Amino acid sequence: MKYLCLLLLFVVAACSDNFAPASAVTDFRVVAAKVEVVGEPERANPSADEPVEVSLLAIDRGAPPTQPSLTPWPLQWAFVPCVPLPVTIGPPICSVPIEPCEGCVAAPPDDPLAEPEMMRFQVPSQSELDQVGATSVLFQGVVCSNGRPSEDALLRFLRGETEDLALCEGPPTVVDQAIEGRFLTVQIPLERNPADPNLQPEILSLLLNGAQWPPPYDQGVPRNSPGSGCAAALEGLTPEQRAAHPRAGDMSSSIDVSVTQQSLQTYTVDGVQLTEEIQVSWLADGGNFESTFSFITDPARSVLTQWEPFESAPEQGQLVRFNIVLRDGRGGTAWVERGLCVLPAGAE
């Protein structure tokens, strides 16, 4: 279906020498963008003159048990929304910048927990969009881990004057840690049928081995949680909750994500009625998923995959972060983060 990839997210990243699967989080990444209409967050595609809010999901391998410990390292960013030029081939190109853009430039360097979220701007009027035949708007920029965006390099890159991808500069926020940057282009499709708007997929549940995800990482993982030493966080749990966390060398665990009945919408293109297909991306910074992608197709409302822990773990446990991203192919996005503490084999 030609409309399945209207929202494009390009992540520029270095090639890996060990050819790890895409599900293995081994370095800094920005893996998803969520676009919401302000005041109606269930809507994924804006119309002309409507304000939108963009949030990005940035992830990395869990930090080692050093001080300070943060995953990802402190983030700063710079983004420019714009009306695209009409092109038939090649990547989208900005024509007219959209101003103002609240929260789109950098972040306070004294806030190590700042996230690239709630960046807000207003879609231009229909007449402005019609002048260039735009059916979408662009959101382009860079997210830096442990550094700051180079405004000059970013502007030259957006203008097509350079292919230099060194878009982040120092000094590093955390001394002796690398500065990394990722350039992104998010193409935001405009609403085709305001009477039947495209809605975000909604995650109904996420199960581990058929049961509710065990605490303490059943609502997410704090960014300041170190990669090892998580066994202490399991103190105070019931024996059943503690036993739900895997041991090194265990057999694979099943992870099952389900969506609401309304998440797979029907829509019409050129007189043909279609039904959305939701792509699920499985990501973890430890162990192995059996697949990187799965699909939820009508009439199903859930999909299951297997995750296998590693063969050995330190005495104090190894924290694994899981990020599951859902895309409906028309601009709708949802994601959820969870964690497990992998204990050494034989641990009680």
User: pLDDT tens for residues 112-170?
Assistant: 999 999 999 999 999 999 998 999 999 999 999 999 998 777 777 666 665 556 789 98
Section 14-23 average pLDDT? 64
The predicted pLDDT at position 159 comes to: 66
pLDDT tens sequence across 40-86: 999 999 999 999 999 999 999 987 776 668 999 999 999 999 999 87
Helix or strand or coil: residue 347?
Answer: coil
Confidence of residue 227 (pLDDT cuts 50, 70, 90): confident
Which structure tokens are listed for 176?
């002796």
- Report in angstroms the alpha-carbon separations of 179 from 98, 105, 146, 149, 200: 29, 18, 5, 10, 33
Look at residue 94 and tell me whether its pLDDT is greater than 50: yes
Amino acid at 298: D
C-alpha to C-alpha distance for 264 and 278, rounded to whole angstroms: 7
C-alpha to C-alpha distance for 261 and 234, rounded to whole angstroms: 35
Backbone angles phi, psi at 284, to 5 degrees: -155, 150
Helix or strand or coil: residue 231?
Answer: helix
The predicted pLDDT at position 255 comes to: 98
Query: Please, how many CA atoms are within 13 Å of residue 100, restricted to the half-sphere of its CB?
Result: 3
Domain ranges of the chain: 9-189, 203-342
User: What are the DSSP calls for 21-53, one per residue?
Assistant: -TTB--S-EEEEEEEEETTBTTB-S--TT-EEE
Q: Say how many C-beta atoms besides its own lie within 10 A of residue 54's C-beta.
A: 23
- Of the candidate CATH numbers 4.10.640.10, 2.60.40.10, 2.40.160.20, 3.40.50.620, the domain formed by 203-342 belongs to 2.60.40.10
Percent helix, percent strand, percent coil in the chain, to nearest 5 = 5, 40, 55
The pTM (predicted TM-score) of the whole model is: 0.90
Cis? peptide before 189, omega within 30° of 0: no
Look at residue 276 and tell me whether its pLDDT is greater than 80: yes
The predicted pLDDT at position 160 comes to: 63
C-alpha to C-alpha distance for 321 and 293, rounded to whole angstroms: 17
The predicted pLDDT at position 47 comes to: 97
Mean pLDDT rounded to a whole number for the chain: 89
The predicted pLDDT at position 340 comes to: 98
Cis? peptide before 64, omega within 30° of 0: no
The predicted pLDDT at position 18 comes to: 55
The predicted pLDDT at position 134 comes to: 92
Alpha helices in the chain (DSSP H): 126-131, 151-158, 239-243
